[in-house]
Structure 1
Amino acid sequence: MTLFIAIVFLAFSSGCTSCREYFANGFKVGPNYSRPAAPVAEEWIDDGDPALDTELIQDEAWWHVFNDPVLDSLITTAHRQNLTLRVAGLRILEARAQRAIAAGNLFPQGQEVSGDYTRIGMSKNSLSGSFFNTNFDQWTLGGGLAWELDFWGRFRRAIEAADANLDASVENYDHVLVLLLSDVAQSYVNVRITEQRLAYARQNIELQRGSLRLAEERLRHGITTRLDVTQAVSSLAQTESSIRPLEAARRQAVNQLCILMGMPPRNLDEMLADHNGIPKTPAQVAIGIPAELLRRRPDVRRAEREVAAQSAMIGVATSELYPHFSINGTIYLEALEFKDLFSADSLAGAVGPAFRWNILNYGRLANNIRVQEARFQQLAVHYQNVVLQANAEAENAIINYLKTQQEVESLAESTEAARQSVELVSAQYSEGTVDFNRVFDTQRFLTLQQDRLAVAEGSIAQHLIAIYKALGGGWQIRLGYPETRAAAVTEQPAAEPDENLAPLPPLPPPSHSPVPPARQT
């Protein structure tokens, strides 16, 4: 006992953790974790804009604001079948198993049963062989146990790290889910934008065909020259040429939707035909306050959990400076004859405490602590940078959303004026008061403005999706929030589960609240 107290006293005097800190930390060496401070803006830059609601945020199922059942169905299918999400789910299972391994180290680390039979033949010319039987059998059956005590909190710190890593894997799953939902919505909006651009292009083709027929009729009557006809043919061919790239772009957007839903590319026209037009956005968007990013964004929470895991690893490294106390024991049966092996007289064993202490390590242990501390500082700075990037991402999405709305107002006014100009100039051309150049210019301008209007209208929806993505919305779908209204509507071909896909592994709940309270040392 005196030797044990002397070793403990010497360990405290040579280690980095004081007795007071050791007891305050719950009989563990190394620092207790405290969440790093992260700079967050107090309010949004455009806080006073009437299109923004900073009092309330409800983004658990943000895609419902578009009131589009097709989008709802796509979201439901992607959540159920996306393969990238499955990989993130399997990583949770891996982290859960790693946590179980760490917890198992609290119990005896070495537990084994062994047995052997040996036939021994001794030389008759040897000293022992001249006195004993030179040939005999030896039977042995027993077990051993080695238990390193968690005196310095080494194994408990490892469990803390494993807990944080498990939480980080759950947050990573949520982050992948946020990205998935926004990608599905973005791809769907791309499909609708392309369809609107195609619709405008086809309208202008019909309009330009009418102008071509009028130019040909005027040429037959000798009212105009062939130049008007060639200009009309050139304008029509140019507009018709824009159809093919748009059709290819729509196909690519549909293929991307299929991949996001975990299925081979296929025709989704039957499903997409149930709703037409670019999704409409609400008049006001609820965005809350910037400080909520720390709690809502999974990537921010994941970065914080990674810091917590690394903090625990400092304690693991610090424990190596101290002696390791253990209890070792063996118990076994040994006999020369098998029939005597299980008799009471064959029982033997040994038990006793032991310690080992890494000394004369030439700075390796101390420098390993410095390595773990440097990694902790790196992850802490990375966490702060993730928070800054999240704030900037949200601000960029907000300003793009607001300014694109203003752009659409101007483009809509310009497009309407261009449409009226085409009507006027077409009537004037048929009356012979203007030449075909005016018709050519106004029709080309109308085509350009309508195409820009379609892109801008779709950009409003895309920027709104970017806002919800920046706010970290949508991951709550895995907690049992109503996924979509489309699940109870009609069955869609693309919404049917792929029979070749295994079900997603279940998600464990986080071991604590999304952002844990800071624990002070």
Structure 2
Amino acid sequence: MRVSNFLFATILLLGSIGCSVGPHYNRPDVPLPSQFTAPAATGPADGAAKAEPDDPEFWHSFHDPELTSLVERSLSSNKDLHSALAHYDAAAALWRLSKFDKYPTVTASEDTGRQKLAADQAFGYPRNNRYSTSTINASWELDFYGRIRHNIEAQHQQLLASSNDLAAMQVAIVGEVASTYVDLRGQQERLRVAQQNADNEQRTVKLIEATYTAGRGTQFDTARARALYESTTARIPALQSAITLDEHRLAVLCGQLPDSLVSELGMQKSLPDLPESIDPGTPADLVRRRPDINASEERLHAATEQIGINTADLFPRVNFAGLLGMMEYHADSPFDGVSPANLAALNIDWSFLDRGRVKARIASSRADGDAQLAQYQQTVLLALEDVDNALVRYARSREQDAQLHKAALDSKRAADLANVRYKEGATGLLDLLDAERVELQAEDAYATSHLESASDAVSLYKALAGGWPQAHPSRP
């Protein structure tokens, strides 16, 4: 009978070899437009050429060594990146662990002890005895239905997803460094404009006070000039606060104490050069390039493999087990001595009587796969929306730049002429104060618009996810 059972099991196993259950992953087909339809950017040239989305390390297109230095420091020292890298290492370890399931598991054990039996347990033999047992155990699950293969592939896809999560974190960190640096330089430019206009208005106050002292003005004229000067100087503390906050943010992004970069970044510099245009490429290129889309697809793949893992539970799980050992017993009895032990076993575990639970797990994994598919499709749509919005913002901000740049030049020219005409007595104080007020508003509006254009350029690069470093950040 035992022989016939063994033959039946062997026939069953041989007939099952090579069978793998569960669905096979196919990349989902998401309809994509042939190209982006957002308008092209036009604006004042800053000396930069057309930029491509796949240019290596996009921040070099801004031609700012300080920005490049900050980006490099953030990539090597940012703590969020170190955390993402640790998650990647954990996923890599789990993948390596899953691959060991393809091979036999071999363990060894040693058990040595001494015991004293009760008088009524010894049955006339010595109550004190010593024993020692040494064994080598081996077990091996034969993967006839693909459970192990599906699990290894699922862990591999989770590893790839973690790798793309790390790349997406790099995109986020570098994007935040660039946008914060741009905001810092923009706020410094607005501060320069406010201080310059405050100096001009202070000179106007002194001029009006001198005129009043000479008997040709009124206290009303002096009060109005002082009010304009004081309203301009009131802008300065808020701008200084914004600059300090940006300096602190950049330091933390670089993995340093908040005030460590204040002296380095405190010197005022102009905004980085802006590219005249940024080629977004095609939507198909974007889908292949964005790490968040890749990570979502890899999690969909892993969910598909999980369906195969659960489906394999409908079929027998076959294990071979073996044991080799040696037992030594010392009690001054007939059982004393060393004796070998061995075991060879074939175990078939089949949950066919528990099919309800197995099918419930399969249904759950299929639902999770449907959710991952919807999430992948949504990620693609959000990426396309992200790029389209960034293209529109950058194009319109460059158009606004061009107009506000002309307005700032004209308002400065008008304020200079009003100052000359007032000194010559050809115009009144109201005209001079109004010209100075308009000059401040126009120059601040242009500085703010130029800041927004630079921020929109960074946002567009971030949306395109082009030119980002492919290597993993350095470990701490």
TM-score, reference length from structure 1: 0.82
Q: Which runs of 5+ in 1 are unaligned?
A: 13-18, 481-502, 506-521
Q: Which residue in the other structure is 1:4 paired with?
A: 9
> How far off is 1:273 after superposition?
6.5
SS at match of 1:364: helix
Separation of aligned partners in 1, 2:11 and 2:41: 70
Q: Which residue in the other structure is 2:29 paired with?
A: 37
Q: Which runs of 5+ in 2 are unaligned?
A: 1-5
- The aligned amino acid for 1:406 is E
> How far off is 1:123 after superposition?
5.9
> How far off is 1:49 after superposition?
6.5
Q: Which residue in the other structure is 1:94 paired with?
A: 90
> How far off is 1:63 after superposition?
0.5
Is the Cα contact below 8 Å between 2:311 and 2:362 reproduced in 1?
yes
Higher mean Cα deviation, 344-353 or 295-304? 344-353
Please tell me whether residue 292 in structure 1 is matched to residue 285 in structure 2. yes
Separation of aligned partners in 2, 1:134 and 1:269: 83
Pairs within 5 Å for 1:132-211: 133=125, 135=127, 137=129, 139-143=131-135, 144-211=137-204
Q: Which residue in the other structure is 1:75 paired with?
A: 71
Q: Which residue in the other structure is 1:27 paired with?
A: 19
- The aligned amino acid for 1:31 is P
Is the Cα contact below 8 Å between 2:315 and 2:352 reproduced in 1?
no
Q: Residues 268, 336 of structure 1: CA spacing in aligned structure 2 closer, same or farther, 3 A cutoff? A: closer
Q: Residues 97, 183 of structure 1: CA spacing in aligned structure 2 closer, same or farther, 3 A cutoff? A: same
Q: Which residue in the other structure is 1:491 paired with?
A: none
TM-score, reference length from structure 2: 0.89
Q: Which residue in the other structure is 1:408 paired with?
A: 401
Is the Cα contact below 8 Å between 2:387 and 2:460 reproduced in 1?
yes
> How far off is 1:275 after superposition?
7.5
Please tell me whether residue 388 in structure 1 is matched to residue 384 in structure 2. no
> How far off is 1:456 after superposition?
0.8
Please tell me whether residue 463 in structure 1 is matched to residue 434 in structure 2. no
Q: Which residue in the other structure is 1:519 paired with?
A: none
> How far off is 1:348 after superposition?
2.1
Separation of aligned partners in 2, 1:349 and 1:5: 21
SS at match of 1:346: strand
Q: Among 330, 335, 346, which residue is 2:339 paired with? A: 346
Pairs within 5 Å for 1:372-451: 372-451=365-444
Is the Cα contact below 8 Å between 1:53 and 1:286 reproduced in 2?
no
Q: Which residue in the other structure is 2:255 paired with?
A: 262
Higher mean Cα deviation, 354-363 or 393-402? 354-363
Separation of aligned partners in 2, 1:57 and 1:251: 32
SS at match of 1:224: coil
Q: Residues 3, 438 of structure 1: CA spacing in aligned structure 2 closer, same or farther, 3 A cutoff? A: same
SS at match of 1:197: helix
Separation of aligned partners in 2, 1:136 and 1:79: 67
> How far off is 1:43 after superposition?
0.3
> How far off is 1:461 after superposition?
1.4
> How far off is 1:154 after superposition?
1.2
- The aligned amino acid for 2:475 is L
Q: Which residue in the other structure is 2:475 paired with?
A: 504
Is the Cα contact below 8 Å between 1:177 and 1:474 reproduced in 2?
no
Is the Cα contact below 8 Å between 1:68 and 1:275 reproduced in 2?
no
Separation of aligned partners in 2, 1:146 and 1:255: 57
SS at match of 2:314: coil
> How far off is 1:202 after superposition?
1.1
> How far off is 1:175 after superposition?
0.6
Is the Cα contact below 8 Å between 2:188 and 2:268 reproduced in 1?
no
Q: Which residue in the other structure is 2:3 paired with?
A: none
Is the Cα contact below 8 Å between 2:78 and 2:254 reproduced in 1?
yes
Q: Which residue in the other structure is 2:275 paired with?
A: 282
> How far off is 1:41 after superposition?
2.1
Is the Cα contact below 8 Å between 2:330 and 2:337 reproduced in 1?
no
Instruction: Kindly tell me the number of residue pairs found equivalent between the two proteins.
Output: 465
> How far off is 1:286 after superposition?
3.0
Please tell me whether residue 250 in structure 1 is matched to residue 246 in structure 2. no
Separation of aligned partners in 1, 2:355 and 2:19: 27
Q: Which residue in the other structure is 1:496 paired with?
A: none
> How far off is 1:281 after superposition?
1.0
Separation of aligned partners in 2, 1:275 and 1:198: 9
Q: Deviations over 1:50-76 (max 9, x none)?
A: 899999543321011111111111111
Separation of aligned partners in 2, 1:149 and 1:442: 87
> How far off is 1:314 after superposition?
1.0
Separation of aligned partners in 2, 1:203 and 1:66: 26
- The aligned amino acid for 1:303 is S
Q: Which residue in the other structure is 1:84 paired with?
A: 80
Q: Deviations over 1:403-438 (max 9, x none)?
A: 111101111111122112212222333344433222
Is the Cα contact below 8 Å between 2:41 and 2:396 reproduced in 1?
no
Identical columns (%):
25
Separation of aligned partners in 1, 2:379 and 2:49: 24
Q: Residues 27, 114 of structure 1: CA spacing in aligned structure 2 closer, same or farther, 3 A cutoff? A: farther
Separation of aligned partners in 1, 2:213 and 2:62: 52
Q: Among 60, 65, 78, which residue is 1:64 paired with? A: 60
Q: Deviations over 1:91-127 (max 9, x none)?
A: 1111111112211222234634242445464766x9x
Please tell me whether residue 311 in structure 1 is matched to residue 304 in structure 2. yes
Is the Cα contact below 8 Å between 2:134 and 2:326 reproduced in 1?
yes
> How far off is 1:147 after superposition?
2.3
